[in-house]
Amino acid sequence: MHFSRLLKFAFLAAVTLASSLALLHAQNLNIDCGAYENYTSADGMVWLADRYFSGGQQLYTSYPVAGTPDPLLFRTARAGYYGGFSYAIPIANGQYNVTLQFAEVGYWAAGQRVFNVSIDGNRVLTNFDVVAQGGYYKVVAKQFPVAVADGTLRITFEDQGLLSAIQIAPTGATSNPPTEEPAPPVVPPLVVTPPVVTPPVITPPSPVVTPPVITPPVVTPPSSGRDHFVAVNGSANGDGSIGNPWDIVTALQQPSSVLPGDTIWVRGGTYGDGHGVIHSYLLGTPSAPIVVRQYPGERAIINAWLQIGCCDQNPRPDLGGYVWFWGLEFASSVTDRTGLPDGPPGYGQSAILDSIDTWAPGTKLINNIIHDTRLGPAMWKEATDAEAYGNIVYNNGFQASDRGHGHGFYLQNGVGQSRMTLADNMSFNNFNMGMQFYGSSAALVKNFTVDGNIVFNNGSISTGSALADNVILAWSGGVSGVRLTNNFFYDPPGRNLGYNELGWSSPNVDITAMNNYFIGGFIAVSLSDWTQVNFTGNTMYSQDKFVVALNTPGSTANYSWDNNAYYGAGSVLWNGRTGAYASWPSWTGFDAHSSYQPGAPTGIWAFVRPNRYETGRAHIVVYNWDLASSVAVDVSAALTPGTRYEVRDAQNYFGPPVASGVYDGGLIRIPMTGLAIAPASGNVPVEPVHSAPQFGAFVLVPLG
């Protein structure tokens, strides 16, 4: 049920000229383009970390490619996002065979990347298109005889070139300089040449953000007044009373005394050994759900894989539905955070198990803490009208040889008019993506409401801290019916890694993206192949990479794109063409009333999201651009004066509170320095690092 997907990470690398290496005639010189470390291939050859280049950026995929015994060799490439790049390789004079190896891991269709290649000034490839030659995720190799006479081999890539590996092998034989090979059929690239424009006058916005006061209606769960109890020392022979409780397996099989509208209270303790599955067959009704909730003041930990509506690979939504799981903790005691890569024979298996999967209609996952499992909540297409609300999801996943596996959320939807909702969740520091909306020929990605979520630093605990997508929406059949509003995304801007991908690899239908914050990443936000877009009120910042990327092969007549705020270097990418933000409005016809400010934002942006299910509870997110040691936050939308409260750091939720007191109706102060982060469980490749002082996420909890 887990689907592979390309992850792209790119950043600007420094020009390297390490002329100390001399190639002997009896040796090969192998270069792994875009790589930081040497790589030893299956035949024992050493491929040197990338060097001798000028220009270009690293392109990275965490998925292997086909057509080679060394798929990991092709996880990196050098690509020309800002223009051409070149190699000047010091080498002994002589005759060589130069093999250039390509694997397209950035584009998926012919015509999207077309470029020329020259060796020592002689054109060897014209209008070269890797996808047209062999497809994407596949190796294409081209070999050329070269005579070096001045001690340097020069390879030049024009336009948005791409190169995965170079192999230089001495021949000892005389050969002519390379000649141009016959060009493949030319596929028109998706490149639009805009007219010369006069940059618009741009007025930067105020650095002070005053968020609107949001007071959502509080949802009160229906209750029949019937309470049942579960305890670690409960049994199947219990009667479900507080003095004679059930075990959790019995309770979730719905004993005859459990009726729609009832509440099952889960007492404190750990349920499971980290290796088993617990099935929920509870069946409430839309107006009278069954609520499974942590007993007040206690800590109930589910150390097992909860499957709602029957079974992995065998969904039975008729066996469960209209059940709310509320306030529980899901955490695995398994410390082995390794597993197998995608594909046969292992198919991404690991010793550690998932947290929650639901195929049951009307499922609600409310204010749970889900960490250090194989995968955060997965809500599948059978779970019609399901909702995940207020959950804190972190440190989930495992490391395999191909990449980090395990997302914060995995979501599919599209049965009838069903709408799936993700609201006011936090998802951070997972091995792979924060929120993956990803489908297949058998599963749809449509009709999602995604509102008020805080998503940051996903991929950070995998090998190399390879920041992944905080959010991705992708389906070969076309994503539709998406409402992405009021969300807060963050990757450390200085790393220039990470993505927010709205649409990918296929024609999509419609999306509304309003009032979101897309901060950091190689691309702050990218949109691809939408027929209808409403992109308004959003804020984007990428330190010195793309602040926005847009692929619009069709008409933009149904696009509404305005009143946005852009920060950073201001590079933009539109239909394969790069440029400065000053050209963006004239190229696209968008953003007539938007603003652009060069450089980083300033000030303090603080937002409070009151909880719909628990009065007084709220999520707080802070972008602390001034790096203040503490920030003042208005929580009046959540708390009433006289309420005792504490503020918990989401990155150390079970640690001591970072602030507490009795609310007096004014501002409360939250520290942004000296904050600790909870370590990940088990043998993670990279321990999580706190995002403060620049960014923080907190939970306001009322007491008594």
Q: What is the pLDDT of residues 7-63, one digit of tens each?
A: 332 222 222 223 333 333 346 899 999 876 788 988 889 999 889 988 777 776 655
673 vs 402 pLDDT, higher one: 673
* Buried b / exposed e along 629-659 (16+ C-beta atoms within 10 A): eebebbbbebbeeebebebbbbbbbeeebbb
Q: Average pLDDT for residues 458-462, to the nearest whole number?
A: 96
Is pLDDT at 632 greater than 90 in this prediction? yes
Q: Are residues 240 and 355 in the same domain?
A: yes
Q: Are residues 367 and 253 in the same domain?
A: yes
Q: Are residues 157 and 243 in the same domain?
A: no
Q: Are residues 164 and 229 in the same domain?
A: no
Report pLDDT for 415.
81
Residue 107 has a CB neighbour count (10 Å cut-off) of: 22
Q: 185 with 132: CB under 8 angstroms?
A: yes
User: Is there a domain that residue 432 lies in?
Assistant: no
Closest CA to 525 of 488, 483, 480: 488
Three-state SS at 602: coil
Q: Are residues 248 and 131 in the same domain?
A: no
User: Is there a domain that residue 568 lies in?
Assistant: no
Q: Average pLDDT for residues 628-651, to the nearest whole number?
A: 98
Q: In the chain, how many domains are there?
A: 3
Residue 196 has a CB neighbour count (10 Å cut-off) of: 6
User: Is there a domain that residue 488 lies in?
Assistant: no
- Indicate left, alpha or beta for 310 from its phi (over 0: left) and psi (-120 to 50: alpha): left
d(CA 463, CA 441): 31
User: Is there a domain that residue 463 lies in?
Assistant: no
Is pLDDT at 225 greater than 80 in this prediction? no
Q: Are residues 308 and 241 in the same domain?
A: yes
d(CA 86, CA 118): 9
Distance of CA 369 to CAs 156, 162, 290, 398, 650, Å? 52, 43, 20, 18, 10
d(CA 63, CA 75): 7
pLDDT digit string, tens, across residues 143-198: 999 999 999 999 999 988 999 999 999 985 333 333 333 333 333 332 323 333 33
572: Cα within 13 Å, side-chain hemisphere: 21
Of 380, 399, 418, the last residue of a domain is 399
For residue 636, give its domain range.
604-703
User: Is there a domain that residue 469 lies in?
Assistant: no
Q: Are residues 227 and 347 in the same domain?
A: yes
DSSP state of 585: H
pLDDT digit string, tens, across residues 546-595: 999 999 878 899 999 999 999 998 899 998 888 999 999 999 999 999 99
Q: Are residues 325 and 247 in the same domain?
A: yes
Of 399, 434, 449, the last residue of a domain is 399
Tokens of 166: 């170079």
Q: Are residues 393 and 296 in the same domain?
A: yes
Report pLDDT for 83.
67
> Which residues on adjacent β-strands are paired with residue 300?
269
Would you place residue 222 in the very low, low, confident or very high pLDDT band (cuts 50, 70, 90)?
A: low
CATH at 673: 2.60.40.1180
Q: Say whether pTM exceeds 0.75.
A: no
Three-state SS at 263: strand
Question: Contacts by 641-645 with C-beta closer than 8 Å and gap 24+?
Answer: 641/665, 643/616, 643/702, 643/703, 644/702, 644/703, 644/704, 645/616, 645/700, 645/701, 645/702, 645/703
> Which residues lie below 8 Å from residue 523, measured CB to CB, with a gap of 6+?
499, 500, 542, 545, 546, 548, 549, 573
d(CA 488, CA 484): 11
CATH at 97: 2.60.120.430
Output the average pLDDT for the chain: 87
Q: Are residues 358 and 260 in the same domain?
A: yes
Closest CA to 489 of 435, 409, 553: 435
Q: Are residues 386 and 301 in the same domain?
A: yes
d(CA 67, CA 165): 14
pLDDT digit string, tens, across residues 334-373: 999 999 987 777 778 999 999 999 999 999 999 999 999 9
d(CA 522, CA 529): 20
User: Is there a domain that residue 555 lies in?
Assistant: no
Q: Which of 127-141, 181-195, 253-267 has the lowest mean pLDDT?
A: 181-195
Of 141, 170, 199, the last residue of a domain is 170
Q: Are residues 244 and 121 in the same domain?
A: no
User: Is there a domain that residue 215 lies in?
Assistant: no
pLDDT digit string, tens, across residues 513-535: 999 999 999 899 999 999 999 99
